[in-house]
Structure 1
């Protein structure tokens, strides 16, 4: 089977999941023929992905998320306005995606939450079947827990999620644990995709807490937590570190952002403090490390991840860097959660291969959306 990837290039989660599926497909004797990665002028293809991915990579413009430069909070309104301003280059990108699919003729396209995929299939209707993979598709599951209120952010999140998956034969929703499928939404719940580097690790139980800090406000909270608990050993990875290992004092060390080293530190820490990105929390769960999950401000998806992760028992949801919360939680953390998580993860091999086989089987092509999308195609071409 020849497989082409379409990947959202924002952050590391979807790119890491693509690397994981590529490893799985290679084990099964299938061929990943390439990857189309959504990029912006400010954000190219991440080096960790380009160094690991062995097939050709095609970067194509795709409007990204807009964050506040001071607080790192997501700016939904500015994100929407920016996307509208980029409508013409976005249309050119859709045609590039369509042409690439029709030229390479894979048996199936796998879309990792890239809007270019859903919109290309809605407006230009490539002839190759597509399946979509992301944790975000749990938003269409009736049992998925969400933050109270936040109506606007919830609707914006669901709309953005829907735009990534028009025309897909199946949605594979990555989940912390087993949930019922939702056939009316073409939704199948599947285990997380984890890199072989994670599953090959032999975790140990160390004495240090590990923190991954990207928000400016969290850096201030990190120092406050350190002053309150100067006896607790902490290693913190963040972009302002002056070197690979910046020693602050006897119990706090900053480290420059480095995915490989961060994973090594995770394997020997006793707990982790991180934003509520799905991928990093899953890695911590697999390695048996309880997590304090702190969503980025205004980031509805991460707020959902934190609530869902707490429900599944992988850690504790919080709105701030609160070591007291984490220290109180750690003795209560169920160590069997990691065992159950590993067993759930082990089922993924056959579930993902089954989804690919179903996609290439002859079936009716999904509707592209009727009059609305016909009108949209006309407007974009004018």
Structure 2
């Protein structure tokens, strides 16, 4: 089976998931023919992805999220404005992806929640079946815990999920735990995709907290929390650090974002404080580390992630870096939550291969019978 990836390059989660699925496919003897990775505002593809993804990588210009520098909040208006401003360049990206699918002739395309993938299938209608993989797909599940009192944001988020997955034969919703599938949405609930390095770690429980953020402006929140609880040791990885390690005082140290060093710190920490990105929370859960999940301001998706993580027993959803809240939670953390998660994760290898084989086989069947119908939106 030949598989082509389309990957959202914003943040770390979707890139990490692409690496993990490629490892599963290659171990099973399948061929990942390449990855088309969206980049925004001229930012380069993350170095860790360039180092770890073994198939050819092609950057393609796509829309990205914009944050307010003063408040660190997601600026939805500015995000939409910039997307509309650059729509001509994105149309070129769609044609490039269409041409790549026609030239490389994969058996199936996997879309890691990249809008360019959905729009390519909406406007150009490739005959190759597509599978969309993302935690965001769970937004179409009737039991997903959406934030209350945000009806417009909920509708907008569901619309975005459907646009990203337009034309997908199946939507694979990455979940903290097993839940019923939703056939009417073509949604199958599957385990997360984690880096293989995480599954080989041997966690211990040292007396420090690991903090991680990707937005430099959130540094002020961590500093404020540290000033309120200087007795709690914090190792803080964030994008604003240019040196490997920078001690601030006896209990606070900054670290440059480094995948291997970050995992080592997570392996031995007492707990994790991070924004509510799905991937980092799952890694902590696999290692049995309680998490304080703080959605970035105005980031509706992360609000849902935090509530979903709290529902599953991962940790505490909060609107600030409240170390008191985390320290109060630690004695109540149920280690069995992590054990059940690891059992759920171990089912992923079979479930992902089954889904991609279903898609590839359906394409072979329709190619033979000549009955391949129009691609419909999810």
Instruction: Decide whether the 8 Å contact of 1:231 with 1:251 is kept in 2.
Output: yes
For residues 85 and 368 of structure 1, the distance between their equivalents in structure 2, rounded to whole angstroms, comes to 28
Partner of 1:27: 27
Structure 2 residues not aligned, in runs of 5+: none
For residues 274 and 50 of structure 1, the distance between their equivalents in structure 2, rounded to whole angstroms, comes to 24
Normalized against structure 2, the TM-score is what? 0.95
Instruction: Decide whether the 8 Å contact of 2:6 with 2:110 is kept in 1.
Output: yes
Partner of 2:166: 166
Q: Does the C-alpha gap of structure 1 residues 366 and 296 become closer, same or farther in structure 2, counting only changes over 3 Å?
A: farther
For residues 203 and 258 of structure 2, the distance between their equivalents in structure 1, rounded to whole angstroms, comes to 19
Partner of 1:146: 146
Q: Does the C-alpha gap of structure 1 residues 282 and 365 become closer, same or farther in structure 2, counting only changes over 3 Å?
A: farther
Q: Cα distance, 1:203 vs. partner?
A: 1.0
Q: Cα distance, 1:156 vs. partner?
A: 2.1
Q: Cα distance, 1:190 vs. partner?
A: 0.1
1:180-207 residue CA offsets vs partner (Å, 9 max, x unmatched)? 0000000000000001011111111111
Q: How many correspondences in the alignment?
A: 370
Alignment of 1:8-23 (within 5 A): 8-23=8-23
Displacement over 6 Å in runs of 4+: none
Partner of 2:60: 60
Partner of 2:314: 314
Instruction: Decide whether the 8 Å contact of 2:125 with 2:375 is kept in 1.
Output: yes
Q: Does the C-alpha gap of structure 1 residues 308 and 335 become closer, same or farther in structure 2, counting only changes over 3 Å?
A: same
Q: Secondary structure at the match of 1:169?
A: strand
Partner of 1:250: 250
Partner of 2:336: 336
For residues 240 and 169 of structure 1, the distance between their equivalents in structure 2, rounded to whole angstroms, comes to 40
Q: Cα distance, 1:215 vs. partner?
A: 4.6
For residues 59 and 214 of structure 2, the distance between their equivalents in structure 1, rounded to whole angstroms, comes to 25
Q: Does the C-alpha gap of structure 1 residues 130 and 366 become closer, same or farther in structure 2, counting only changes over 3 Å?
A: farther
Q: Does the C-alpha gap of structure 1 residues 142 and 342 become closer, same or farther in structure 2, counting only changes over 3 Å?
A: same
Partner of 2:100: 100
For residues 10 and 242 of structure 2, the distance between their equivalents in structure 1, rounded to whole angstroms, comes to 25
Q: Secondary structure at the match of 2:93?
A: helix
RMSD of aligned alpha carbons: 1.5
Q: Secondary structure at the match of 2:221?
A: helix
1:199 matched to 2:191? The reply is no
1:17-47 residue CA offsets vs partner (Å, 9 max, x unmatched)? 0000011111111110100111123322111
Partner of 1:230: 230
Partner of 2:122: 122
Partner of 1:74: 74
Instruction: Decide whether the 8 Å contact of 1:210 with 1:273 is kept in 2.
Output: yes
Q: Secondary structure at the match of 1:103?
A: helix
Partner of 2:85: 85
Q: Cα distance, 1:365 vs. partner?
A: 4.3
Q: Cα distance, 1:87 vs. partner?
A: 1.8
For residues 39 and 218 of structure 2, the distance between their equivalents in structure 1, rounded to whole angstroms, comes to 27
Q: Secondary structure at the match of 1:339?
A: helix
Instruction: Decide whether the 8 Å contact of 1:98 with 1:124 is kept in 2.
Output: yes
Structure 1 residues not aligned, in runs of 5+: 371-382
Partner of 1:295: 295
Q: Secondary structure at the match of 1:357?
A: helix
Normalized against structure 1, the TM-score is what? 0.94
